[in-house]
Chains A and B, each alone.
Chain A
Amino acid sequence: MADPELLSQAATALGVPEPIVQRSAAARAAANGVDVDEVLRAWAGGDSVTAAESGGAPAEAPVEATEAETAPEETADGGRETAAEPETAESAAELTSPVPAAVPAAAAAPAAAATAVLERPRVIPILAGRRESHWKLIAGVVGLLTLGLLGGWVLPTLDTLDDPGAPAALTATGEEGRRIYLREGCQSCHTQVVRPIVTDAGLGPVSSAGSVSGYPGDTIGSVRYGPDLTHFGSREGVDLATVTAYLRNPLAMRANSLMPPIDYLDDAELEALAQFLVESK
């Protein structure tokens, strides 16, 4: 356990938060085979404990080493060229430091000490990017997204508003059933739209935008793990009692059905759900 006072002094001297100093000191102490307090004492005095002093097992830092390794720099056309060798390690650190200009003058000395002992990461020069305005970037993104909203949602929607067709007339109970249908996630497995393609042959009249709109929410769905229910109420043998019984226990009426029993709903809700399905014509 590090001496709290030493820790505080070291943190102040280095200009680095205590938790980081503590963890780093522990790592440095382990690497050098010395006591944590010894490391902290050295740091508190503005000194550094270099890796060369290491006597114990080296702590293989996953963060990059401090050497000023140069990386090829990208050219304007996207190719690579070799960057000029920095004059000194110090200048390289300055070049690659993520926050060189953010270091206040008064804090420059302790910050330099922190660099030495805490192994400031090497940042590859290319990560510096190319000079450009962030406002232009934001404006470009917002502009294209706005265009996308228009093309992906607003304009197609406006285009469907004058589409003929009216939705099935629902009673109040049917509307309540529709809300339950959406709430229970029935649309995760069922759709309510018939398309003018061969796979939907026999499912009933093809849907228009008008026929699938008009009520809050959307029962159109996107995947059919179960059959389409657009014209469910028009199918032979469909009545309220049968549908209610089926919803309660699908397996009793159809072996191997993947339909889950909806028997956890109370009677009123179950009947409302069944009513909505019966009214879906």
Chain B
Amino acid sequence: MTEDQDSAARLHLFASVAFSVVSGLLLVALFLSLRFPTVVGQLPQLTYGRLKPMVLTTAVLGWLTLAGIGAVYYLLPRLTGAPMWGERIARLNLMAAVPIYAAAALAPVLGLSSGQELLEVPWYLDLLILATLAVPLGVTIQTLRHRTEEGIYVSLWYVVAGVTAAFGLWVVGNLPGVIGDLPGLGGMTTALQRVMFSSGFLTLWVVGIGIGTAYYLLPQETGNPLFSRGLAAAGFWSVVLAALWAAPTALTHTPVPGWAQTVAAVMALGLVIPALAVATNFAGTLHGRWDTLSSSLPVRFAVAATSFLVLVSLASAGRGFPSVASVLGFTATADAVLMVTIFGVAGQFAAAFTYHAIPRIAGRRVFSDFSGRLHLRMAAVGSAALGFLLWVTGTVTGYTWVGAARTGSFVAAGEGWQEVESSTLVFTSLLPLAALLVAVGLLAFGYNVFRSYTSGETVPQEVLVPTGAENG
């Protein structure tokens, strides 16, 4: 009677929800500081340049990584037929991860940053973060080694790819902190590494684990089996193959070698395949049970996330074409894709899984269906508005540059830049409102999860691991 099974998954999910609320509030501050740099005060902590890495780290590490790790711990015993290895280590890891991720989020606003998105924290924090990512990798491998279930379900593919990529990319991503300091390097070397890390970490870990959880919860919620394993396999291997190769699309037309830009554009197009495969598979699984769209909160979130996934993959692929990149490259469309990926795709997948898992691992029913629906509406509408406004801002900016260059009316620099700014002011002014919708949604999420745990109606929870069977 020494172990409370699912305790690691449960604690990770609750911690992740706390970070999600903070990331929502910071998102509002971020876009306020972008549009109204003096309104939010004179504190250095509130400048856009310092806030952006804080928002990204809070959302990507604090919220989505912890939720992802929680999902891994939830899925492993249920899909391997073996008790999760190292439940206690996993709990200890969480106790370390929470302050480490919080410190990583705070580091840039305290002036401790090397400036590389998601990798900007000092090396000692990088090492600690690496250690927290090593634990889910170890737990996964050890649990797989003891599995009694011979079959490997689709979700486990994404678990394996996710924990491997998260750990491996964190190692490689931080290498240029060393390599980039060598004479003659830095610059292009670091930029390529930055986009490769960002693309891989977000696609394979943050979004990938979300897809894996949706593959698990949709059959559970609908009672239907997975529509097609073959389709799932095509999508999975496509994403593992293309995620890193597609990264240089963010640097199209820069001094990245031409062949790499071409390959990246093709691979970005290839990333549409997994998105469509996932969408088709989910639609097929829901076939005959579309009623769950109105009755099941997790299904609604999963469907919303999948819709955003398809949109983001199309947008990314489009931006990868050299002709499109010559207008949209270096515009806010890059942030449109980034923000929707985080808050629209991964955020909704994480919410779907959290709502699915709470009753099963906490023994409490989700407290308020109303709050859940409010969360969904606010987060989905907010993410869509954020993506739309940033995309329009970027498109208008790009065409303003093109128009200025063709007519010779002004150069997009110095005084000429005011022309560019004034053409997008109306859109950037609305960004804080869109962020506010996301934040309200996440506040409803936090409230709902907190009340579920403290006041939710008690219900029997899943029991998977007999006493003494834990081998960790």
Quote the shortest CB–CB distance from B213 to chain A (angstroms): 13
A102 touches B81 (CB 8 A): yes
B360 touches A62 (CB 8 A): yes
Neighbouring B residues of A212 by C-beta, 8 Å: 187-188, 191, 254-255
Beta-carbon nearest neighbor of B46 in chain A:
A260
A214 touches B186 (CB 8 A): yes
A149 touches B188 (CB 8 A): no
Quote the shortest CB–CB distance from B465 to chain A (angstroms): 6
Q: Which of A184, A216, A256, A261 has the most CB of B within 10 A?
A: A216
B12-20, B345-353, B400-408 - the one binding chain A: B400-408
Neighbouring B residues of A149 by C-beta, 8 Å: 172, 196, 244
A:10-25 near B, CB below 8 Å? 11-12, 15-20, 23-24
Contact pick for A224, options B43, B248, B397, B425, CB 8 Å: B397
Interface membership of A119, Cβ < 8 A: yes
Q: Which of A80, A123, A152, A160 has the most CB of B within 10 A?
A: A152
Q: Type the 1/0 row for A248-281, where 1 means its CB is closer than 8 Å to any CB of B.
A: 0001001011111111110000000000000000
Quote the shortest CB–CB distance from B372 to chain A (angstroms): 13
A99 touches B219 (CB 8 A): no
A137 touches B412 (CB 8 A): no
Neighbouring B residues of A169 by C-beta, 8 Å: none
B59-67, B147-155, B432-440 - the one binding chain A: B147-155
Q: Which of A182, A195, A262 has the most CB of B within 10 A?
A: A195
Give the tally of cross-chain contacts (CB within 8 A). Answer: 431
Q: Type the 1/0 row for B393-417, where 1 means its CB is closer than 8 Å to any CB of A.
A: 0000110011001100001111111
Interface membership of B88, Cβ < 8 A: no
Quote the shortest CB–CB distance from B173 to chain A (angstroms): 9
Interface membership of B472, Cβ < 8 A: no
Interface membership of B101, Cβ < 8 A: no
A:64-87 near B, CB below 8 Å? 64, 69, 71-74, 77-80
B168 touches A99 (CB 8 A): no
Given contact pairs A124-B219, A145-B244, A223-B334, A217 touches B152 in the complex (Cβ within 8 A) = no
Given contact pairs A102-B466, A151-B245, A222-B195, A130 touches B152 in the complex (Cβ within 8 A) = yes
Interface membership of A61, Cβ < 8 A: yes
Beta-carbon nearest neighbor of B143 in chain A:
A134
A69 touches B461 (CB 8 A): no
Interface membership of A155, Cβ < 8 A: yes
Contact-residue size bin, chain B (C-beta under 8 Å from the other chain): 35 or more
A157 to B255 alpha-carbon distance, docked (Å): 10
A11 to B181 alpha-carbon distance, docked (Å): 58
Interface membership of A41, Cβ < 8 A: no
Neighbouring A residues of B192 by C-beta, 8 Å: 152-153, 156-157, 160
A111 to B467 alpha-carbon distance, docked (Å): 9
Interface membership of A52, Cβ < 8 A: no
Interface membership of B392, Cβ < 8 A: no
A42 to B165 alpha-carbon distance, docked (Å): 48
Neighbouring B residues of A4 by C-beta, 8 Å: none
A220 touches B79 (CB 8 A): no
Interface membership of B3, Cβ < 8 A: yes
Beta-carbon nearest neighbor of A8 in chain B:
B1
Neighbouring A residues of B172 by C-beta, 8 Å: 149, 153
Contact pick for A218, options B191, B248, B257, CB 8 Å: B191
B81 touches A126 (CB 8 A): no
B418 touches A63 (CB 8 A): no
Quote the shortest CB–CB distance from B258 to chain A (angstroms): 9
Beta-carbon nearest neighbor of A17 in chain B:
B4
A124 to B115 alpha-carbon distance, docked (Å): 47
Contact pick for A217, options B186, B253, B335, B398, CB 8 Å: B186
Quote the shortest CB–CB distance from B199 to chain A (angstroms): 7
Contact pick for A98, options B42, B199, B417, B464, CB 8 Å: B464
A227 to B346 alpha-carbon distance, docked (Å): 31
Interface membership of A54, Cβ < 8 A: no
A99 to B327 alpha-carbon distance, docked (Å): 55
Neighbouring B residues of A71 by C-beta, 8 Å: 219, 223-225
Given contact pairs A213-B188, A258-B34, A63 touches B460 in the complex (Cβ within 8 A) = yes
A202 to B82 alpha-carbon distance, docked (Å): 64
A65 to B92 alpha-carbon distance, docked (Å): 34
A141 touches B161 (CB 8 A): yes
Interface membership of A244, Cβ < 8 A: no
Quote the shortest CB–CB distance from B237 to chain A (angstroms): 7
Beta-carbon nearest neighbor of B424 in chain A:
A225
B48-56, B304-312, B443-451 - the one binding chain A: B48-56
Contact pick for B181, options A80, A102, A163, A216, CB 8 Å: A216
Quote the shortest CB–CB distance from B80 to chain A (angstroms): 8
Quote the shortest CB–CB distance from B176 to chain A (angstroms): 8
Beta-carbon nearest neighbor of B400 in chain A:
A199
Given contact pairs A153-B193, A224-B397, A127 touches B153 in the complex (Cβ within 8 A) = yes
Interface membership of A46, Cβ < 8 A: no
B21-29, B127-135, B226-234, B375-383 - the one binding chain A: B226-234
Given contact pairs A195-B254, A196-B253, A137 touches B329 in the complex (Cβ within 8 A) = no
A264 to B420 alpha-carbon distance, docked (Å): 27
Neighbouring A residues of B326 by C-beta, 8 Å: 197-199
Q: A148-B196, A191-B330, A225-B48 are in contact. List 11 more A-B contacts (CB 8 A).
A: A121-B462, A134-B160, A151-B244, A153-B172, A167-B187, A213-B188, A216-B180, A218-B194, A225-B34, A227-B416, A260-B33
Contacts A/B (CB < 8 Å), 30 sampled: A23-B364, A24-B463, A59-B459, A59-B460, A63-B459, A71-B219, A104-B469, A121-B360, A124-B225, A128-B153, A129-B149, A145-B200, A148-B240, A149-B172, A151-B244, A160-B189, A160-B255, A184-B111, A197-B329, A198-B326, A198-B402, A199-B405, A203-B411, A213-B188, A214-B184, A214-B187, A218-B186, A218-B187, A258-B34, A264-B44
